[in-house]
Structure 1
Amino acid sequence: MSIGTGIATGKIILMGEHSVVYGEPAIAFPFAGAKVQVEITANETNTLISSYYHGLLEEVPSHLKNVKDLLHRLQQDFHTGPFATSIVSTIPSERGMGSSAAVAVALTRAFFDWIKKDFTKEELMTYVNFSEKIAHGNPSGIDAAAASGTDAIYFIKGHPITSFPLTIDGYLLVADTGIKGQTREAVKSVAHLFETSKQLASQAIQRLGIETKRAKEAIIANQLEVLGESMNNAHQALQQLGVSNQQLDQLVSLALAHGAYGAKLTGGGRGGCMIALTKTKEQAENISRILLSDGARAAWIQGLGVYEHV
């Protein structure tokens, strides 16, 4: 029996959280430490098998509407019979790691593999963006671009997304606080800060923009220490905006105390994940053990630059 397989990675926002809303740049990249794998096979009925739901596709819960509608659209566009879809993911949901976009990328790749049809990047993005609009209303496109590519993404609101290679020799540790990120609430609080303390908010946003540009230059020039400094400065600016919390700050401080070049929250904040930059894999593994013993729910490590595929 023919089996269609599709894989996609999660994504990490390296720099530019929140400031991207106000016209400053952001950097994100595919994070291979967490993945989604989808398998599609012919079946008597349309069914979905996942950790969240197992049963008829028509009866999926409302939070999986983006998955249901994407699979229905693919089925209608290519006139296939019913099929069973299996989703296995190690990307935690609501942690700022692009879970929904990665699922959409893997689903679309698996479907095209199942029907033995080649597809262009534009076709893939059409279906992924369709799914993401259902999931998020008005997505920036960062998640979809990062989950479907291999390079770092440089994004400025209102401008085309551009990519550049990760050419920095280091390792990135991602640690999950175990608390769902509160992106909507954090975005609203930043907007409120602009109303009540405009100068403070403006300075923090401007600082985030400066550090994001500096971080891009550091990556291209393979300057690990400079990138670490930018990450540290960015976290301080995010603290000023009020989008960090005690758990994130504690994990960031621990990582720095044990040799990380830089550490900061990633994503919307108020929970979710933090990231730490190290020179060696051994350093990343050591800090990972320390953070897990201090309350982090999970941790992943990815090599950057020349170490990416090691």
Structure 2
Amino acid sequence: MAAADPGTFTGRGVPARDPGVPGERTGVGRAHGKAILLGEHAVVYGAPALALPVPQLAVTAGATGRHRAREGEDEVSFTVTGPGSEPVAPPTEGLRRLVAEFKRRTGLAGRLRVEVLVDCAIPQGRGLGSSAACARAAVLALADLFGRGLDAGTVFDLVQASENVAHGRASGIDAVATGADSLVLFRSGIVQELPVALAGGGPVRPHEPAGGHIGGFDGLFVIADSGVSGSTREAVELLRHGFERDAGTRTKFVGRVSDLTDAAAAALADGRPGELGARMTENHELLHEVGLSTDRIDALVGAALASGGLGAKISGGGLGGCMIALAGDPAHAEDVVRSLRDTGAVRTWVVPVGRFARHAG
């Protein structure tokens, strides 16, 4: 899980507060992006889901201010910025819920006067966990600022408080994956970390044999931005209405996605990237059938498969956003990236795992 680190916040494009201001200090929190490999939407109905942390998409929050014992209305502001963007005020309803829950859970009585500056490298509206990562980083920054130790469960609950406002009924997988350092299997609120090495800080176990890694899974995940924002809330409602019209559709969808996700987790554990890729593609076909894909996403999925990808699918809420493909080696990953860009992807990210992660960067 991500952890808050003490120090002065100096994120890209976000000025550090003058440390000489009397009575004020800065707390720092960090998180990162995520991509769903299998199980999005079905996870809300109890199916398992697989998520991939994306450490390249980093989020750092700095919380500067103070706490006064006297009562009064809190003065808490949030500003989000990122590479090449001007600072903007994000939708604050969820974040303000987070602050209220933070005070309640930590017993912090009185009035807060805090400015939270979030440096977010995750593009918004792309299904990459920007809202959850910003909330997680903000929670950890507040905890650091006020010297409150938070266990993983409390951090999860606080992020979920914000996510439920932002997206409606949030499954919880984003709240977990934006702080994980391993691939995670999420099932009905229970998290299982899958010990596959990730570039940028994935786990290396003490009992791991020299030169190897648990499961022996090697590959590179290629994420492509379609250039069109998706809406998780809209996609959730679209699917819910469809299920209300035909309850059998829901049972079939959730059952099939559960089977695919379990098979994919087994393929990861056994080091079978070809099977994982096939299950990803099948999951995409199901999401397409229920109306959550788009022509542009479908074209990117087709391009990834045609250029040697082992599997490809939409990733996240749908109705836009990103797709994710699996390549078996760096040469194939380069081919997939080239094909995706030729097909219209506005940007791509490559997340190497297994032995490829050891040589990344």
Of 105-114 and 21-30, more deviation after overlay is shown by 21-30
3-state DSSP class of the match of 1:40? strand
Of 41-50 and 115-124, more deviation after overlay is shown by 41-50
3-state DSSP class of the match of 1:82? strand
Q: Deviations 1:229-269 (Å, cap 9, x if unpaired)?
A: 11122222222222211101100111111111111111222
Quickly say closer, same or farther: Cα 1:207–1:114, change in 2 above 3 A: same
Mapped contact 1:29–1:152 kept (Cα < 8 A) = yes
In 1, Cα distance between the equivalents of 2:165 and 2:235? 21
Matching residue of 1:253: 302
3-state DSSP class of the match of 1:100? helix
In 1, Cα distance between the equivalents of 2:161 and 2:254? 31
- How far residue 140 of structure 1 moved from its aligned partner, in angstroms, is 1.4
Q: Deviations 1:144-174 (Å, cap 9, x if unpaired)?
A: 11112223332334x5333332352111111
Mapped contact 1:42–1:84 kept (Cα < 8 A) = yes
- How far residue 81 of structure 1 moved from its aligned partner, in angstroms, is 5.6
- How far residue 33 of structure 1 moved from its aligned partner, in angstroms, is 2.8
Which residue identity lines up with residue 125 of structure 2 in the other structure?
E
Quickly say closer, same or farther: Cα 1:86–1:285, change in 2 above 3 A: farther
Matched, 1:289 2:312: no
Quickly say closer, same or farther: Cα 1:81–1:36, change in 2 above 3 A: same
Matching residue of 2:232: 183
Matched, 1:119 2:150: yes
Mapped contact 1:43–1:84 kept (Cα < 8 A) = no
3-state DSSP class of the match of 1:227? helix
Quickly say closer, same or farther: Cα 1:243–1:83, change in 2 above 3 A: closer
- How far residue 275 of structure 1 moved from its aligned partner, in angstroms, is 0.2
Mapped contact 1:174–1:276 kept (Cα < 8 A) = yes
| Long gaps (5+) in structure 1 | none
In 2, Cα distance between the equivalents of 1:129 and 1:13? 17
Quickly say closer, same or farther: Cα 1:113–1:80, change in 2 above 3 A: farther
In 2, Cα distance between the equivalents of 1:161 and 1:132? 18
Matching residue of 2:260: 211
Matching residue of 2:33: 10
Matching residue of 2:10: none
Matching residue of 1:242: 291
Q: Which has the higher contact order (CA 8 A, sep 6+)?
A: 1
Mapped contact 1:259–1:278 kept (Cα < 8 A) = yes
Give the TM-score of the pair, scaled to structure 2: 0.73
Of 253-262 and 39-48, more deviation after overlay is shown by 39-48
In 2, Cα distance between the equivalents of 1:123 and 1:24? 23
Which residue identity lines up with residue 272 of structure 1 in the other structure?
G
- How far residue 21 of structure 1 moved from its aligned partner, in angstroms, is 4.0
Quickly say closer, same or farther: Cα 1:170–1:81, change in 2 above 3 A: same
In 2, Cα distance between the equivalents of 1:88 and 1:148? 16
| Long gaps (5+) in structure 2 | 1-18, 20-24, 68-74, 197-214
Matching residue of 1:64: 92
Which residue identity lines up with residue 14 of structure 1 in the other structure?
L
Matched, 1:30 2:53: yes
In 2, Cα distance between the equivalents of 1:83 and 1:162? 35
Quickly say closer, same or farther: Cα 1:133–1:196, change in 2 above 3 A: closer
Of 105-114 and 71-80, more deviation after overlay is shown by 71-80
Matching residue of 2:313: 264
In 2, Cα distance between the equivalents of 1:3 and 1:147? 22
Aligned match of 2:78 in 45, 48, 54?
A: 48
Identity %: 34
- How far residue 8 of structure 1 moved from its aligned partner, in angstroms, is 0.3
Moved segments of 4+, more than 6 Å: 195-201
Aligned match of 2:133 in 99, 102, 111?
A: 102
The CA RMSD measured in Å over matched residues stands at: 3.0
Q: Deviations 1:195-240 (Å, cap 9, x if unpaired)?
A: 6677676555433222111100000111111111111222222222
Give the TM-score of the pair, scaled to structure 1: 0.84
3-state DSSP class of the match of 1:97? coil
Mapped contact 1:172–1:278 kept (Cα < 8 A) = yes
Of 195-204 and 168-177, more deviation after overlay is shown by 195-204
